[in-house]
Structure formats: structure tokens, C-alpha cells
Structure 1
Amino acid sequence: MTMNDLIPITERIVLNMLDRLPVKCTVRGTMNIQRGSFEQHAAKFCSKLNVNCPAADLKCAWSGSNGQLQQHISICAFEQMRPMVADIIKNKHQLKEQIQKMSE
């Protein structure tokens, strides 16, 4: 048997069965979390999980526990600049479109 002989699971029944399997959060030690709900557990309930700032896409280098994230966001200069950066990017795209139309 080779890797080419393996077929990915695409059947919804099998995926549903797998999502009901109980798993353990190794960060908090919480047990019996359904596999399908684990991402929700990690995002909302696991205060010890290490996360990055949502403004990492704007080059914020902060990372810390999920429990500290809201406090960081409230003072994060990068997150506060997000609306201005979004406007600059939008204007840039509009200018590119105008230049392209003028070139034609």
C-alpha cells in the first residue's frame, strides 16, 4: 500500500462520527471536548492557549495567552490603526484601477 492508495474521507457520516469523538485540551487539561467543538473551545474557553494578536497581519508581534488577548487588543496600536490602513489599501486599489483605465 502506498500513499496513492489512500482516499481522503469525504463522507459526511464518517466526518460526523469523528467530530463526536471526545478529545482532551492539553493546555488546560479539560477532557471530553467533542473533536468538532475543539476550535470553539480553543477560541472562547481556553484562557491559557497561546495566541497571536489579530493585528499580526499588520506586523504586531504580540503573542500571549488567550486570557490576555482582550487586554492587549484594547491597547494595541496596530489594531487601532486597522481602519486607517484599510482606507489606505482601498485608496491604493482605486488609484491602480484609475491608472489602468487611463492607460487603456
Structure 2
Amino acid sequence: MDIAFTRARVAVFVDGCFWHMCPVHQTSPASNSEWWSTKLATNQARDIATNNHLTESGWTVVRIWEHEDPEKAAERVMNLVRPRPIEGEPSI
């Protein structure tokens, strides 16, 4: 993970569009295409396995694409990390 919020158990990954095969920006190199296809598919499979392992271990996984608006991405993370008031207790 690129950023870990251990108390909140939130794992944040910032994924590059090329390396993680972004559905919007993915490209396939023409040179050595078979090797790249295998490499990128392996990256995707590892991402899925990592997500599953962390989720099964009680973590929330957030994946942010490199092209995402940083403020919107930060807000997504803050909404998961920010302490929530306990029902019945006064908020600060």
C-alpha cells in the first residue's frame, strides 16, 4: 500500500494508469507485446489478490488512479478515515 491509516484500517493505493491497466487510459505497447501483456495481467491479478487479502483481514482498500482529481480522491479517503460520532454521544 502507498498509504496506511492503521487505526482506521484503510489501505490506499495510487495506481499508475499504464502499470495497473486503467480502463480509461490503458495502452498496449507494440514492441514485445506478448511480454507486456503477461506483465500487466500479472499486475492486475496481484492487485486483486492484495485487495482480497486486505479485505479479509479487516481493511478497507481504496484504489486511486493517477489521473483522478487529487481533492476528490483525498475526500474519498478522508470519509473513511475521519472518526465518526458514536450514536448518542455529543459531537465535538
TM-score, normalised to structure 1's length? 0.26
Larger radius of gyration: 1
TM-score, normalised to structure 2's length? 0.29
Decide which structure has greater strand share.
2
Decide which structure has greater helix share.
1
